[in-house]
Chain A
């Protein structure tokens, strides 16, 4: 199990640890860069130029040190009336270059803000849009926590990489190259010495990193154990209290915590070696260069001067810095690639396919014939454009649903519904009953094509549902789910979710129909009360009433109701029940029933068991039959197993 990642907002909590292994990092990097370049290629070129400009400005400044000492100061020493004019000019020129460098630095940073944030926005938008079009299956197979983590943690690592790591890497590389060239120009032997010290630094770093890596893995494992323990025990803290297990719980925790400390200490101890070792090897390099350079200058070997030594020493310092930075940035790039992989995995998920071509249109009767029209008439028709000859048929939407020998499984290996045959004529009420897991909810999910069937046919007004455009199919079906989900918005907007262009009056009428008007008016701001946290401040019953109102405002010809099992008290239940009844009136309704009254006034009851319809008929017929339904009804069912 993955540990809980609760990181909110960017820049908070960056994990340190072993580098995760990723397959094909080059491909992911290319894709990320491609994403950036797609809209910001000009920006990126500018940024690149700015980086080069900044580095060059810096290098020319350091080079000037040599010129300053050798060409201006040396000759002037001892002169009775030194002429500072040329020096002033030279200094002003350098200052000019510096100014350009600073401008470059600012432009780079400022442009990168737009590039980074723009790319982030596009990524987020693309991810959200893509996610919205994924089939329900995706949400079944991925935990919400994992999906959320892509939007927060993974996107964050990408931001880090685009805004900082990549520009810094580029600037480091350019700096290294530029400095190297300058150093070679100043003194080849000293350059060699510097490079030897860099090699030593890299060698030591590699060894230390290798050592600390194994400790980091141990630390991660120990951290996982501690976090797992904490999660479980916090979840069960009340049980711990009831069983007076506090002391024991403490002991177990202390042992795990101690183990974590040991591993974390070792891992960090080694990681902490890196800083001082690198710094001091850098110092060592500096000292050695100073000594050797001093000797060279003293003996004037290869025209080496103090000015050159001064410049060289500064280069020596600025040579080590980018090398350290590269190794630091490498870590966050690897993390970003792992994050990028998850982002692209989401973007690569297959969207819900829809090859349906039958659409839903407003219609009216004209001379006994059905014709399409723009305005809302309360009458709907399926517009069936024949693919062969382009001719158009209109079929009135009535709500006639037929299941013909339907088999279905969430995976191809395991079928959960077998040979389902049923029909519902317009205005009929079909109830599904059966124990949990019998397949009631699954059947309703097939009508609106949340899932596609493996075998058989589902017909809607005589049309195979596969031929109907999904959006239109779903628009014709109203649905009240077992768990009500509400959005952060006003009550009004939440109900209007069912029909976006509904007027306030329509919304209120729907709320009245659903028996929701009463409690809504008692809310602090009435219909304008803002609901937050999935309607956390409402009771279960009130949330259901809102869901009913939402379906009511959509006014669909066919309804799918999943009655809530959760226990609401008898009185609220009556209000909800009453609202549902009003909604069902005059519509074809599929209801997953948990209440006897609902079942009793159904036109047909389907009793499901293990994915099969085992009994069907009206209440009276089924009671007569004395089968499973009778057992359920009289409450004498003996559970199998």
Chain B
């Protein structure tokens, strides 16, 4: 996992190496100062040598200045390395996501991809900076202080060694237990928040059934449990600081006693004693820093794992080696096609589909939810790959085409469609970058979008807000159709794309299609029979199979499902006010 992430350091390798180097230099400077101070006391003050005091003082100032410079440089390179690393991570993830097929995207879900690209990267970026600056610094500082202590007096320094080992063991045990407790608490805590979320979304249900007090009681119980678990976990952490203090205090007491004995015995001078006490503080500080870094790293592990998952995800749909760049016509053929979203799932989503659609035909597709209408059409532009069999467009297997060529010739208006923030024209030009204003207008006229665009204050330059929040559902659908039309595709697929458009406009769009782009093969997936009954032929889907494929009249006569739906919608119990969608 770490290697996958570290690969993204790239051009910031130099900075990543420089940072710890400067930190080490800073540590060296800092470690030398207490030693010189001790010398100054012994050789300067005690010996009464003024020059020595001034001389050593000068050296110390130089050391402090060098330390300052090193610290600043370390900070600078650290910032560059960490921010650069974050930048590269984001870019690498984004690049890899661009290669994802639909099934890769399904696997992650949009919300989780967003979190990974934003919060997770920020976490890692901060952790990386911390590691570069502290992870090297803390142990080096520890080692240096220890080495200096041994250099001054090995006997006293051995007290430190014992203390450090004792402290490390204690901290290790504390961390181990805290980790265990906290991972439990966090899980419960997430559950608690999930239940808050549930209550927020279901507030109307709670109120309608007058269950406020019931839910409050439930919440109190849960929060009480969490309280107990938190107290248990944090009580462990509460040991942290006292344990450190007791170690340091013991050291001070021991050094005072041993040191005093040695000084009196002549084996140590007072300056050395002061240096030693100073190193005691340094050692403690570096240990505290180490435990902090450790916590920080473990906390960012989850983020690291989530980022790696995105980076390591292999696109499961690739361009052929020698792609075909020519789609001869708009005919479509399904040959024994079976399709599963997940290789391991038992029941296929599409089961042995055989279809033959001629170029220029208008085909309606109807069927209940879960009857795999969308899955069927998504195979045509190779948004997913078939599990068995083959799909042919223009007489060639879709897997032999260059993906971009295929998708430009097979234009899909997705069921869950989005517009992007930008002007209407900019959005339309997703279909064709070089489309002229006239061409854009023409496409909008076909999609019956021109009429409402003309009524907007800035017409075609109207700015669409993020998520298309300033256009209605029906307007959005019509813009999406216009955008798809601009590709001038050989095959046009509308996947339930007029559901929010009123029946009259829907009919107008279909009429325009029939007269203006007769050569284009049109596939219309719909819930409403009226949207498809004029089609040349209609596919009736049921449970992943083609139940029937015939004209409206024949289906009405021969197909049970179709007749049922037809009767439900026109006489019996069909959708009633759907046509009110457009306001």
Residues on the A chain within 8 Å of B256, using CB? 64-65, 68, 91, 94
Q: Closest approach, in angstroms, between the C-beta of A153 and any C-beta of chain B?
A: 11
Decide if B41 touches A253 in the complex (CB within 8 Å).
Answer: no
A133-B212, A148-B200, A306-B41 given; A291·B577 CB < 8 A: no
Instruction: Let me know if B343 is at the binding interface, CB within 8 A.
Output: no
A113-B234, A487-B198, A540-B369 given; A265·B79 CB < 8 A: yes
Decide if A273 touches B420 in the complex (CB within 8 Å).
Answer: no
Residues on the A chain within 8 Å of B114, using CB? 4, 6, 227, 230-231, 234
Decide if A287 touches B33 in the complex (CB within 8 Å).
Answer: yes
Decide if B573 touches A596 in the complex (CB within 8 Å).
Answer: yes
Contact bitstring A401-439, B, C-beta under 8 A = 1, else 0: 000000000000000000000000000000001111110
Query: A105–B239 Cα gap in the complex (Å)?
Result: 9
B564-583, CB < 8 A from A: 564-565, 568, 570-583
A118-B227, A635-B570 given; A448·B208 CB < 8 A: yes
Instruction: Let me know if B129 is at the binding interface, CB within 8 A.
Output: yes
Q: Please tell me which one of the listed residues B37, B260, B502, B574 contacts residue A72 in the complex, with CB atoms under 8 A apart.
A: B260
Contact bitstring B219-237, A, C-beta under 8 A = 1, else 0: 1100110110011001101
A125-B223, A128-B219, A635-B503 given; A110·B235 CB < 8 A: yes
Best-buried of A73, A286, A633 by chain B (most CB within 10 Å): A73
Decide if B577 touches A236 in the complex (CB within 8 Å).
Answer: no
SS class of chain A's interface: helix, strand, loop or mixed?
helix
Query: B407 — nearest CB in chain A belongs to which residue?
Result: A244
A152-B193, A488-B198 given; A597·B573 CB < 8 A: yes
Decide if B75 touches A147 in the complex (CB within 8 Å).
Answer: no
Decide if B242 touches A105 in the complex (CB within 8 Å).
Answer: yes
Q: Please tell me which one of the listed residues A109, A243, A268, A276 contacts residue B238 in the complex, with CB atoms under 8 A apart.
A: A109
Decide if B502 touches A639 in the complex (CB within 8 Å).
Answer: yes
Decide if B105 touches A277 in the complex (CB within 8 Å).
Answer: no
Q: Please tell me which one of the listed residues B224, B412, B430 contacts residue A121 in the complex, with CB atoms under 8 A apart.
A: B224
Query: A297–B207 Cα gap in the complex (Å)?
Result: 79
Decide if B403 touches A477 in the complex (CB within 8 Å).
Answer: no
Q: Closest approach, in angstroms, between the C-beta of A210 and any C-beta of chain B?
A: 17
The stretch from A95-103, A334-342, A377-385, A519-527 touching chain B is A95-103
A99-158, CB < 8 A from B: 99, 101-103, 105-106, 109-110, 112-114, 116-118, 120-121, 124-125, 128-129, 131-133, 136, 139, 144, 147-148, 151-152
Q: Please tell me which one of the listed residues B264, B270, B564 contacts residue A306 in the complex, with CB atoms under 8 A apart.
A: B270
Decide if B30 touches A283 in the complex (CB within 8 Å).
Answer: yes
Decide if B241 touches A269 in the complex (CB within 8 Å).
Answer: no
B25-78, CB < 8 A from A: 26, 30, 33, 37, 40-41, 44-46, 48, 50, 53-54, 56-57, 60-61, 64-65, 67-68, 70-72, 74-76, 78
Range, interface on chain A: 35 or more
Instruction: Let me know if B151 is at the binding interface, CB within 8 A.
Output: no
Residues on the B chain within 8 Å of A132, using CB? 199, 203, 206, 212, 215-216
Query: A485 — nearest CB in chain B belongs to which residue?
Result: B202
Residues on the A chain within 8 Å of B238, using CB? 106, 109-110, 112-113
Residues on the A chain within 8 Å of B33, using CB? 283, 286-287
Instruction: Let me know if B456 is at the binding interface, CB within 8 A.
Output: no
Best-buried of A77, A246, A271, A577 by chain B (most CB within 10 Å): A246
Decide if A68 touches B576 in the complex (CB within 8 Å).
Answer: no
Contact bitstring B544-574, A, C-beta under 8 A = 1, else 0: 0000000000000000010011001011111
Query: A98–B241 Cα gap in the complex (Å)?
Result: 14
Residues on the A chain within 8 Å of B226, using CB? 121
Q: Closest approach, in angstroms, between the C-beta of B397 and any C-beta of chain A?
A: 19
Residues on the B chain within 8 Å of A116, using CB? 234
Decide if A436 touches B583 in the complex (CB within 8 Å).
Answer: yes
Instruction: Let me know if B299 is at the binding interface, CB within 8 A.
Output: yes
Q: Closest approach, in angstroms, between the C-beta of B8 and any C-beta of chain A?
A: 13
Decide if B580 touches A273 in the complex (CB within 8 Å).
Answer: no
Residues on the B chain within 8 Å of A450, using CB? 204, 207
Residues on the B chain within 8 Å of A13, using CB? 119, 122-123
Q: Please tell me which one of the listed residues B44, B274, B407 contacts residue A313 in the complex, with CB atoms under 8 A apart.
A: B274
Decide if B246 touches A253 in the complex (CB within 8 Å).
Answer: no
Decide if A276 touches B579 in the complex (CB within 8 Å).
Answer: no
Instruction: Let me know if B414 is at the binding interface, CB within 8 A.
Output: yes
Q: Closest approach, in angstroms, between the C-beta of A482 and any C-beta of chain B?
A: 10
A275-324, CB < 8 A from B: 275-277, 279-280, 283-284, 286-288, 290-291, 294-295, 297-298, 306, 309-310, 313-314, 317
Residues on the A chain within 8 Å of B224, using CB? 121
Instruction: Let me know if B143 is at the binding interface, CB within 8 A.
Output: no
Query: A270–B151 Cα gap in the complex (Å)?
Result: 37
Query: A474–B204 Cα gap in the complex (Å)?
Result: 11
Q: Please tell me which one of the listed residues B68, B79, B196, B206 contacts residue A148 in the complex, with CB atoms under 8 A apart.
A: B196
Instruction: Let me know if A42 is at the binding interface, CB within 8 A.
Output: no
Decide if A226 touches B67 in the complex (CB within 8 Å).
Answer: no
Q: Please tell me which one of the listed residues A82, A147, A635 contacts residue B530 in the complex, with CB atoms under 8 A apart.
A: A635
Instruction: Let me know if B169 is at the binding interface, CB within 8 A.
Output: no
Decide if B580 touches A436 in the complex (CB within 8 Å).
Answer: yes
Residues on the B chain within 8 Å of A475, using CB? 209-210
Best-buried of A94, A245, A283 by chain B (most CB within 10 Å): A283
The stretch from A176-184, A366-374, A391-399, A563-571 touching chain B is A563-571
The stretch from A255-263, A452-460, A508-516 touching chain B is A255-263
Q: Can you give 27 A-B contacts (C-beta < 8 A)?
A: A61-B252, A64-B256, A73-B264, A77-B264, A95-B249, A105-B245, A121-B227, A128-B215, A128-B219, A132-B199, A133-B212, A239-B418, A246-B99, A257-B90, A264-B86, A271-B79, A272-B72, A276-B70, A280-B64, A288-B57, A294-B40, A297-B45, A434-B580, A435-B580, A597-B572, A641-B452, A641-B582
Extra 10 A-B pairs, beta carbons < 8 Å, given A98-B252, A125-B219, A314-B281: A73-B260, A73-B264, A84-B260, A87-B260, A95-B253, A232-B420, A298-B45, A433-B577, A479-B209, A632-B579
- Give me the 6 closest cross-chain CB pairs, A-B, nearest first: A276-B71, A569-B368, A435-B580, A272-B75, A485-B202, A109-B238
